[in-house]
Structure 1
């Protein structure tokens, strides 16, 4: 009940949080969020020492600790997070766990979230009840679709391998549902996980006794990584700031420096999310929720995997040389949700580009109502579209086939592509961070709207030129 204690100290003016926040240059809500995220790890240790042996108290423990965290951060407004859970529980009882229930859940949860954004969202980075609610929205939508898939599975209809892993033949009890909702390790910022995983976790289907040393070691390793990235974010954020990019002084610098500065700003800005996900993953691993089967390392010897709640692939993220690498490595669980519950279920449109467009539109809506979100996801669409068409064209060229194996050329290409990925990830992220038109337009003006000039004309300008040049340079034998 640490959250309740800290909240009480805040009411009587004795909480140390405001003073610490002012000392480190953070806002009080941001520091409360960090304290709450860090609480997940000791709560996991307490769970294994005092609670796990009592099955009947497991859900209750998650509910009490999760509600405590919610109350500490949002006070009475935390009731918003409970309403959709009650609605899906009742709708599943009334409508049954089928198609109609899934549609009702989708519409209700997205509507509730968007209304919440309208009421609470400002031009700043808001930490309100909508923060955990956006995580909750995906969890409950996925739950309703998993229940629908469970009914299809019972009827003998064909499901994909991924759908089989999450399909639910039985609806959760109310206690299980609320425990799933308030699970303290990732209630605030995710990552999202399926109810099937949660059910397997509380039903002792994961080898938590025999693999205790493995997940304790892996959890601590992730915790250290999270702290390192949190420190790197603080340092990088002090060097590369959005405030400076909005200043007149920034627009007077060389255009190359401005682009590089923006790219480095974007990279360090993402560390805010990376550190949070590493810290929450550490807690999930320490709880034992992250078990993901085992893999063979040598003949006859296997090793357990604890990456079931992994939300960031660090090596791929840090070594990204194209936008797709960022998509594949960043916010992995949300991207998995978007692929499985939105993109693949839009197959009836008959066009993968349309499916991708509407998936990105959904993700923009899920983030908020400010224009910056939609510009960022539009940027993602046009960049991915160009990359997917350009890469196979380049690989067919004579120059690529002749020089691609040369080690010096490989390193030169890596450096060029790394700079490209770094700069245009930062460029794409600007609207997402500042949110409002007046600010992102100011920054984009100082960068001469270079991303739009590079990616938007691809189909009608650059692609025909490149194809014609490749045709001219082909050997006569082709």
Structure 2
């Protein structure tokens, strides 16, 4: 009818206008259109986040006092804006989010006592298929960004929720870990809450994955949100300025160091070993700043929405780390490789710790290298199927274990006043070796990874082997 035609015409006009914005921005910043869409979505997320406190004020003015009514309004706003943001960034591919969420939710409805394992296996199988069909690693390497990153975050969400729902039905409270006690779900989330959590706009395009219990508490002003959210201007400003600083670092390095004039440089063989290590180190540092920027922008968006608040510390100071996925200073200060995951991709690290590492460790036994290897392999599969990811994460399993051994050796064998003499060379090796290992993550192609490492005489692997032997 006429109304339907008018609506379609208006939608077509909006899509055409958005395409014009993307095209013009892509030309202006000299980036592929996929990356441009991603960056624009990242920039829009904080503006959408500001809509949550605005919605709360509007509800108060309208006299809406019931908690369930406010929660439904927040959920509806999150679902609608999140879906629109995904469509703006990834177009029609957004429909796979509905497939993902519907299948996981139906599994929790159908088979509660096994839903965690079924959702885990099914979501990873779907993600692996998508990585393979879309060749996502090659797209990322060329500078494009597709919906696979969003799907990776959804995998963490749906598996965590299903396992927490399963735990409440299969594990006695007395047998639960402290983490399980805080996260288990006695009741199935409502379809609206579940869908809006999956599509929460502030952290949608880049992560991190936020636990459903935290999201549910925020929706209903429970837990740490029961007394209201403190002023967010100062923490939000700090996070924004930090993101801008990291973007500046990335841009400064990217102007001189790229994948083409480092790893793939035709003259690479003519460089001395010291020059190769230096180029890889600087390129790695700059490339890491890109991730700092992206995750800090997501944290900024969650902070302005109010969800970023996580309670008060022992000194009564407000904490804003519900969506904090990166602590750049913590990464750069890490003395051993096992300390880096505490500050890098933190929420994914917590997911790997609590939903993989802890669960593959037999009860009553201490985890060892096998548990680290399994966890790192799962992380590698999650990132993609290219050999570079497997090489990086398997190598990093040994690197993390070497870091643990060296930390234990230092604490038991070296007097405290002399530890700085050990810390300085360990810190230097940690960061040079990290950027050396990251060559595999960046290049992803097996032949290129081996060529890169061999051009540096596998010094990182040799150093890790020495630390393993020395710390044993």
Using structure 2 for the length normalisation, give the TM-score: 0.88
State the Cα distance separating 1:270 from its structure 2 match.
1.1
Distance (whole Å) between structure 2 residues aligned to residue 280 and residue 12 of structure 1? 25
> What SS is found at the alignment partner of 1:214?
coil
Question: Contact between 1:118 and 1:369, CA under 8 Å: does it hold in 2?
Answer: yes
- Given the superposition, is the C-alpha separation of residues 206 and 48 from structure 1 closer, same or farther in structure 2, using an over 3 Å criterion? farther
Alignment of 1:334 onto 2:348 = yes
Per-residue CA shift, 1:6-64, capped at 9, x if unaligned?
Answer: 99566469613223323323222112111111212111222211356361321111111
Alignment of 1:405 onto 2:421 = no
Question: Contact between 1:376 and 1:431, CA under 8 Å: does it hold in 2?
Answer: yes
State the Cα distance separating 1:217 from its structure 2 match.
2.1
Q: Identify the residue that residue 67 of structure 2 maps to in structure 1.
A: none
State the Cα distance separating 1:415 from its structure 2 match.
4.2
Question: Contact between 2:324 and 2:346, CA under 8 Å: does it hold in 1?
Answer: yes
Question: Contact between 1:206 and 1:288, CA under 8 Å: does it hold in 2?
Answer: no
State the Cα distance separating 1:208 from its structure 2 match.
5.9
Question: Contact between 1:386 and 1:455, CA under 8 Å: does it hold in 2?
Answer: yes
Question: Contact between 1:264 and 1:423, CA under 8 Å: does it hold in 2?
Answer: no
Show the 5 A alignment for 1:280-295. Answer: 280-295=298-313
Per-residue CA shift, 1:364-392, capped at 9, x if unaligned?
Answer: 00000000000110121121222222343
Q: Identify the residue that residue 310 of structure 1 maps to in structure 2.
A: 324
State the Cα distance separating 1:329 from its structure 2 match.
0.8
Q: Identify the residue that residue 352 of structure 1 maps to in structure 2.
A: 368
Distance (whole Å) between structure 1 residues aligned to residue 261 and residue 299 of structure 2? 33
Distance (whole Å) between structure 2 residues aligned to residue 322 and residue 16 of structure 1? 45
Q: Please point out which of 228, 234, 248 is paired with 1:217.
A: 234
User: What 5-or-longer segments of structure 2 have no aligned partner?
Assistant: 1-8, 65-69
Question: Contact between 1:40 and 1:184, CA under 8 Å: does it hold in 2?
Answer: yes
The count of residues paired between Structure 1 and Structure 2 equals 446
Distance (whole Å) between structure 2 residues aligned to residue 213 and residue 7 of structure 1? 41
Alignment of 1:254 onto 2:268 = no
Using structure 1 for the length normalisation, give the TM-score: 0.87
Distance (whole Å) between structure 2 residues aligned to residue 211 and residue 231 of structure 1? 35
- Given the superposition, is the C-alpha separation of residues 260 and 377 from structure 1 closer, same or farther in structure 2, using an over 3 Å criterion? same
Q: Identify the residue that residue 217 of structure 2 maps to in structure 1.
A: 200
Q: Identify the residue that residue 461 of structure 2 maps to in structure 1.
A: 452
Distance (whole Å) between structure 1 residues aligned to residue 11 and residue 288 of structure 2? 29
User: What 5-or-longer segments of structure 1 have no aligned partner?
Assistant: 468-478
> What SS is found at the alignment partner of 2:360?
helix
> What SS is found at the alignment partner of 2:324?
coil
- Given the superposition, is the C-alpha separation of residues 152 and 426 from structure 1 closer, same or farther in structure 2, using an over 3 Å criterion? same
Q: Identify the residue that residue 148 of structure 2 maps to in structure 1.
A: 130
Distance (whole Å) between structure 1 residues aligned to residue 411 and residue 368 of structure 2? 23
Bigger shift: residues 241-250 or 9-18: 9-18
Alignment of 1:390 onto 2:388 = no
Question: Contact between 1:6 and 1:72, CA under 8 Å: does it hold in 2?
Answer: no
Distance (whole Å) between structure 2 residues aligned to residue 94 and residue 390 of structure 1? 48
Q: Please point out which of 186, 191, 194 is paired with 2:208.
A: 191
Per-residue CA shift, 1:125-154, capped at 9, x if unaligned?
Answer: 05222210000001000000111222246x
Alignment of 1:75 onto 2:96 = no
State the Cα distance separating 1:267 from its structure 2 match.
1.6
Distance (whole Å) between structure 2 residues aligned to residue 34 and residue 83 of structure 1? 25
Question: Contact between 2:336 and 2:407, CA under 8 Å: does it hold in 1?
Answer: no
- Given the superposition, is the C-alpha separation of residues 388 and 207 from structure 1 closer, same or farther in structure 2, using an over 3 Å criterion? closer
Alignment of 1:57 onto 2:79 = no
Q: Identify the residue that residue 170 of structure 1 maps to in structure 2.
A: 187
Distance (whole Å) between structure 1 residues aligned to residue 154 and residue 10 of structure 2? 25
Q: Identify the residue that residue 31 of structure 1 maps to in structure 2.
A: 36
Question: Contact between 1:192 and 1:333, CA under 8 Å: does it hold in 2?
Answer: yes
Show the 5 A alignment for 1:221-232. Answer: 221-232=238-249
Question: Contact between 1:33 and 1:73, CA under 8 Å: does it hold in 2?
Answer: yes
Per-residue CA shift, 1:181-215, capped at 9, x if unaligned?
Answer: 10000111111111101110000126669665532
Alignment of 1:432 onto 2:435 = no
What's the Cα RMSD here?
2.6
State the Cα distance separating 1:445 from its structure 2 match.
2.5
Distance (whole Å) between structure 2 residues aligned to residue 13 and residue 286 of structure 1? 25
Question: Contact between 1:81 and 1:129, CA under 8 Å: does it hold in 2?
Answer: no
Q: Identify the residue that residue 472 of structure 1 maps to in structure 2.
A: none
Q: Please point out which of 100, 105, 120 is paired with 1:84.
A: 100
Q: Identify the residue that residue 46 of structure 1 maps to in structure 2.
A: 51
State the Cα distance separating 1:323 from its structure 2 match.
1.0
Distance (whole Å) between structure 1 residues aligned to residue 424 and residue 174 of structure 2? 49
- Given the superposition, is the C-alpha separation of residues 435 and 241 from structure 1 closer, same or farther in structure 2, using an over 3 Å criterion? same
Bigger shift: residues 275-284 or 351-360: 351-360
Q: Please point out which of 151, 156, 168 is paired with 2:169.
A: 151
Distance (whole Å) between structure 1 residues aligned to residue 340 and residue 453 of structure 2? 21
Q: Please point out which of 392, 398, 422 is paired with 1:376.
A: 392
Bigger shift: residues 210-219 or 340-349: 210-219
Alignment of 1:16 onto 2:21 = yes
> What SS is found at the alignment partner of 2:314?
strand
State the Cα distance separating 1:314 from its structure 2 match.
2.5
- Given the superposition, is the C-alpha separation of residues 139 and 239 from structure 1 closer, same or farther in structure 2, using an over 3 Å criterion? same
